[in-house]
A and B are shown apart, each in its own frame.
Chain A
Amino acid sequence: MESAETANHSTHRSRGMYLLGFLTKYYIQSLLLISVVILAAVNPYFRSIGNLQNILLQASFAGIGAAGMTMLIVSGAFDLSVAGLLGLCGVLISMLLPLLGAFLTFFAAVLLGVVLGSLNGVVVTKLRIPAFIATLGLMNIYLALAFIWTGGSRVVPISDPIFNSLGTGALFGLPIPFLAMIAAYLGCYGILNRSVYGRCLRAVGSSEVAARTAGLPVDFIRILAFAIVGGCTALAGVFLGAELSSASAIMATGYELTVIAVVVIGGTSLKGGEGTLFGSFTGALFFAVISSALNILNVAAYWQYVATGAFLISALGVQALRSYIVVE
C-alpha cells in the first residue's frame, strides 16, 4: 500500500518535472503559441490572413539578422554595428540600382555586408578590443558614412520593380523575405551543427584559451563569424529596402537591440559556447507578434522602446532562472 502510494507520488512528481523540463526547454515556443492563440481568439483582425502575412514579413527583418548574430554570440562575441551597416547597405542599394540592375545590386549589397562584417572582425580580433565597444564605435563610423553619402538623413529612393518585388512579393502565400529567413536559418543550422567550422565556433565560444591551446585558428574563426553577421544583416537590408522602396542612414535605428533581444529571448546564452537557432527563429516571430498586438491595441509606438529593452532584460532573467532549474 505504502509503496504503491510513493510510486504514485513519484510518477506525479516526475510528470510534473517532465512538464517543467519541457516548458523550460521550449519556453519561447510555448510563449509564442499561447500569445498567438489568445490574440487570435480575442481579435478578429489579428487572425486575418493579411495581418498574419505582415507578421511573417516583419519577423523576417530582425530574424535574418538574428540568424547570423546567433552564430556570433555562440562564438562569444557581439556586433552592435548592424544598424549602421544595414543603413549603409541600404544607401548603397539605392545608388547602385539604376546602374547595375536588381540582380547585381543584390550581390553587391551582400558583398558589402560581408566585407564590413569582416572589418568588424579584424578590428575586434587583431586590435584585441572588446567586441561590444569596438562595434559601437564602428556603428558611428558606418552611420556617419551613410549620412555623408546621402547628405544628411535624406531618404533616398529604391525603385526597381524586380528589386521591390523581393520585399513585397509572396510565394504560396508566404512573403519572400520570410522564405529567405527560413533558408538563412537552415543554412546557419547546417553550419553550426553539422560542420567542422560550427564545432570550432562553439569551441571558441566555450573557452577561447583552450581553443588557442588546441591549435584552432581562433581569430580567423571569429572574423568569419563577423562576416556571416555582416552578410545576414545586408540580406535583411536588401529586403527592408525593397519593402520600403527607400533607404536612409537611420532606416534601422535600434536594429542591434532588437536582434540581440531576439537571440537572447530565444534562449542563446551570452556567455557563448552554445546557442539555439530554433529559439532565435521563434524569438523573431514572437517579437513580431507582440509588436503587431501593440499596434492593433493602439498602444503608442514609444512603448516599443520600453518593450524591447524590458524583453531583453527579462529574457536574461529567465535564462538565469532556467539554468537554475536545470541544475536543480
Chain B
Amino acid sequence: MDEPTAALNATEVARLFEIIERLKQRGIAVLYVSHRLREIFQIADRVTVLRDGKKVDTRRLAEVSEDDVVTMMLGHALNKEETSYEAIQASEKAALSVRNISVPGVLSDISFNLYAGEVMGCAGLIGSGRYELARALFGLERISEGKIEINGQPALLSSPNDALRHSLYMLPEERKVEGIFPDLTVRENLLISAKRLFQRLSELSIDADQEEKEYDKMRELLRIRASSSAQGITKLSGGNQQKVMLGRALMSNSRILLLNEPTRGVDVAARVEIHAAIRKLAQTGYAILVSSSDIPELVTVSDRCLVLNAGRTKGLLNRVQINEDNVTALAIGQEITGDRQMSNAVASHNVRSSLSLSNATRLVQVAESFGVFVLLVIVVTTASIVAPGFFTYTNLTNTLIAASITAVTGLGMTFAIAMGGFDLSVGSVQVLTAIVVASLLSVVGPPLAILGAVLTGLAIGLWNGVLISKLRLPAFVVTFGMMSVIRGVALLVTQGQSVMITKHAEFGLLNNGKILWLPVPFFIMAIVLVILSILLKNTAFGRHACAIGGNRAAAIVSGVNIDRVTIAVFGVVGVTAAISGIMLASQLMIVDATLGTGFELQAITISVLGGTSLSGGHGNLIGTVFAAILLATIASALNILKVISFYQYLAMGALLIFALAIDTARQAFIAKSLLSRS
C-alpha cells in the first residue's frame, strides 16, 4: 500500500488499520509505504528506511524510537531548536480581508482577516474545501457570493492575473502537476511569475545578468542547492524544487502568499528549512496563509489556525489553542465549543444543490443519446420540403448507400476514439483498398479480391497500432504520416491512372443489389454495426479499450495489456476502412488514387456528432450511424438544390467545429455537476 491514508479521514484510517490487522492475522504480508511516522509506529512490525534511493536499514519497531527513525532518514540527528516557534508582532491592518465568500458546492460563508506579519494556518480534511479556498482567492474558482478586500480596497479576483495585480500569489498543492515546468531551467522556473507579459515594453527582452543576481539572492535566502541556475528543475530534489517554488512566490512581487502543502514530498531537513523561511518571511511583513493536511506542520508555523469542515468555518484557533488535538477534533467535525445547528444547515444545503444538478445531468445524458436523432429528423424534414425529389425511392436509396459507406469507416473511428486514439489514415486506406480490389478483380474472382483488400486494410491498421504502441508515438501524427505514405503507394500502384472494373459484373451487386427493397450496403453497414457493438459492449477487449480511453494510467495499473489492445483496435479500424473501400469500388466501378480526400475528416465528424466524446472512454456506435445518415442527407439535399460542391466542404468544416464545441460544453457541464455532487 502506497500512502493509503493520504485521502482518508481519521475514522476511515482507523477502519483501514482494522482491516490491515485482519489481513495480517490471515497470513497476508503487507508492505505499508508512508511518510507519516506515527502510522508506521501504530501499524507496522518492522520498518525499512530509504534515503537517496538507497536502503539505510531495516529494524524491528520495538527496538527503535521515532527520533531514531528520523535520524536514519536524515543521516544526522534533527536539531530540535530549529523547529521552535517564535511570536511575531503582526500588523493591526488586515492585508487580506475575506467576507462571507461562497463557492457553489464547495465553500459557503467563509470570513477571516489575514494580517501582514502573520502566518495563518488552514486545516481541513479532503473535501473540506481547504484547497478550493486558496484557489478561489487566487481567481481559479468562481466565487458566487461575498467580497474580498486587499489592504482595505475591494478587489475582484476572477483570474490569477487579477490576483497578481493585487499582489497576491498562490503556491499550488501538487508541485509536480501544477507547479514546476519540467522543460525549464531552475532560473526560468524561479522567475516565471516575476514579470507580467507585455506590461512594460522594457521588460520584453530578458536581462540575463540581472536575472542571475535575482537567482543568487533567492538561493541564499532559501538555501536552494543546485549546481547552477541553468540546471534543469527536474534534476533537483523535491525539497529544493519546493524552495524554488517558494522563491517563485517571493519573486512575484506579492506581499500576500497562499502556500498550499509547502512541504509535501519534501525530506525532513528541507522541511525544517522551509518552515524557518516561512517564519522569516512573516517577520519581514508578508501576510501568509499556510494550507496543509499535515497538522504538526500547522502547529509549528502558524500564529492562528483556521479549520474548515464540509465547506464551512469550523473554528479559528489562536496561538494558545493551537495543538494537534484541537485542530484534528475541529477538522473531523467535533466541537470544542458546541454548535451543531450550523453543520446540519451545511449538510442540507449541499444535498439540495446536488439534487438540482443531477437532474440537469440526466437531461444532458438524454440529449447526448437522442440529440443526433432529433437533428436528423429536422434535417430530413427540411430536405423533403426544400428539395423536391428528395423523397423519391432512387434518391433515398442513393443517400442510404452513401451514408452506409461513410458509416462503416466512422464506426471503426468511433472504436478508436473510445480508446482515446485517432486514425487519420482511413481515407487513404479506403482508396488503396478500393484500388487493390479493383486491380485484383481482373485476375481473380470477387471473394479472393475482397479478401485481399481486407487483408491489406488489416495489415496497415496493425502496422499503425504497432508504431503507436511500441514506439509510444502519438496516434494522430503516426497516422498522419501514414496517410501520406499510403496515398503515395496508391499513386505508385496506379501510376496516376484510373482502374476500371470490367470483369465480374456481379461485384456491382454489393452496391446496387436489393434485399427487401433495401440496398445491400445498408446490410453490410448493419452487420459491421452489430459486430462492433458486441465487441465494444460485451467483450473484455471492448471494455479494455474503453478503460484505456477513460483513464490510461488506471488501465495500466489494473493490468490491461495496452499494447495488444491498441494494436487490435487499429486493426479493427483498418478492416472497417477496407470494407468501406470495397463498397466504394463497387459503387464507382472505376477508381483512382485521388479519391477520398477528406474521408478521415468525415469519419471523425460523424463520430463526434454522434455523441462520442473526444476525451475517450465510451463510444456511441448507433449515434455514428445516425450522424452518417444526417451528413448524407445534407449532401443529397445540396446536390438537388445544385449548390456547388465547395459549399459542402465549408459545411463539413463548420459542422465538425460545431460538433466539437458542443462536445466540449457537454464535458465541462458533466465535470462541473460531478464536482458539485461529491
Q: Which A residues have a C-beta under 8 Å from some C-beta of B?
A: 123, 127-130, 132-134, 136-141, 143-145, 147-148, 152, 190, 194-197, 199-200, 202-203, 205-207, 209-217, 220-221, 254, 257, 260-261, 264, 270, 272-274, 300, 302-310, 312-313, 316-317, 320
Contacts and interface: CB of A to CB of B under 8 A. Distances in A.
A190 B474 CA distance: 30
Nearest to B188: A199
A197 B485 contact: no
Nearest to B204: A195
Contact of B653 (A137, A220, A261): A137
B664 interface: yes
Nearest to B492: A302
Interface on chain A toward B: helix, strand, loop, or mixed SS?
Answer: helix
Interface stretch (B72-80, B178-186, B319-327): B178-186
Interface string B480-514: 11111111110110011000000000000000000
Interface string B171-191: 010000111111110001000
B478 interface: yes
Nearest to B181: A206
Contact of A144 (B487, B647, B657): B647
A129 B181 contact: no
Looking at A127, A140, A306, which has the most chain B CB atoms within 10 Å of its CB?
A140
Nearest to B598: A140
A273 B182 contact: yes
B1 interface: no
B28 interface: no
Contacts of B248: 214
Contacts of A133: 422, 604, 614, 656, 660
A211 B197 contact: no
B183 A206 contact: yes
B484 A308 contact: yes
Interface stretch (B157-165, B365-373, B444-452, B524-532): B157-165
A308 B488 CA distance: 10
A129 B662 CA distance: 10
6 contacts: A133-B656, A137-B660, A209-B178, A211-B192, A213-B179, A309-B481
Interface stretch (B107-115, B434-442, B465-473, B630-638): B465-473
A199 B206 contact: yes
A202 B483 contact: no
B182 A214 contact: no
Contacts of A145: 650
Nearest to B248: A214
Given A196-B195, A306-B492, 9 more contacts: A127-B660, A200-B197, A209-B178, A260-B480, A270-B474, A272-B183, A273-B181, A309-B488, A317-B471
- A-B residue pairs, 9 tightest by C-beta: A305-B488, A273-B183, A309-B484, A140-B653, A306-B488, A215-B160, A309-B485, A144-B649, A302-B491
B266 interface: no
B310 interface: no
B203 A210 contact: no
Given A127-B660, A207-B182, A316-B473, A213 B140 contact: yes
Contacts of A308: 481, 484
B661 interface: yes
A140 B652 contact: yes
Contact of A137 (B170, B486, B656): B656
B482 A313 contact: yes
Nearest to B487: A305
A260 B483 CA distance: 14
Contacts of A200: 192, 197
Contacts of B495: 300
Contacts of A306: 484-485, 488-489, 492
B400 to A, nearest CB: 25
Given A133-B614, A302-B488, A140 B656 contact: yes
A148 B646 contact: yes
Looking at B179, B181, B604, which has the most chain A CB atoms within 10 Å of its CB?
B181
A196 B203 contact: yes
A136 B601 contact: yes
Contacts of B556: none
B178 A140 contact: no
A180 B496 CA distance: 36
A310 B481 contact: yes
A305 B485 contact: yes
A129 B661 contact: yes
Looking at A139, A203, A302, A303, which has the most chain B CB atoms within 10 Å of its CB?
A302
Given A141-B650, A302-B488, A205 B661 contact: no
Nearest to B474: A270
Interface string B638-678: 00000010111110111011001100100010000000000
B477 A309 contact: no
A308 B486 CA distance: 11
A137 B492 CA distance: 28
A211 B471 contact: no
Given A141-B654, A316-B473, A213 B188 contact: no
Nearest to B614: A130
A159 to B, nearest CB: 25
A157 B170 CA distance: 58
A312 B183 contact: no
Nearest to A301: B491
Given A206-B182, A273-B182, A304 B661 contact: no
B614 A215 contact: no
B234 to A, nearest CB: 10
A141 B197 contact: no
A310 B467 CA distance: 12
A55 to B, nearest CB: 21
A144 B656 contact: no
A260 B478 CA distance: 12
B462 to A, nearest CB: 15
B599 interface: no
Nearest to A304: B488
B252 interface: yes
B195 A312 contact: no
Contacts of A194: 205-206
Contact of B492 (A136, A210, A303): A303
Given A134-B657, A140-B601, A144-B649, A202 B484 contact: no
Looking at A143, A196, A270, which has the most chain B CB atoms within 10 Å of its CB?
A196
B169 interface: yes
B481 A257 contact: yes
A197 B203 CA distance: 10
A269 to B, nearest CB: 9
Nearest to B651: A144
A310 B485 contact: yes
Contacts of B197: 196-197, 200, 216-217, 220-221
Nearest to A204: B181
Contacts of B661: 127, 129
Contacts of B161: 215, 217
Nearest to B646: A147
Looking at B192, B203, B422, which has the most chain A CB atoms within 10 Å of its CB?
B192
A309 B652 CA distance: 25
B476 interface: yes
B193 interface: yes
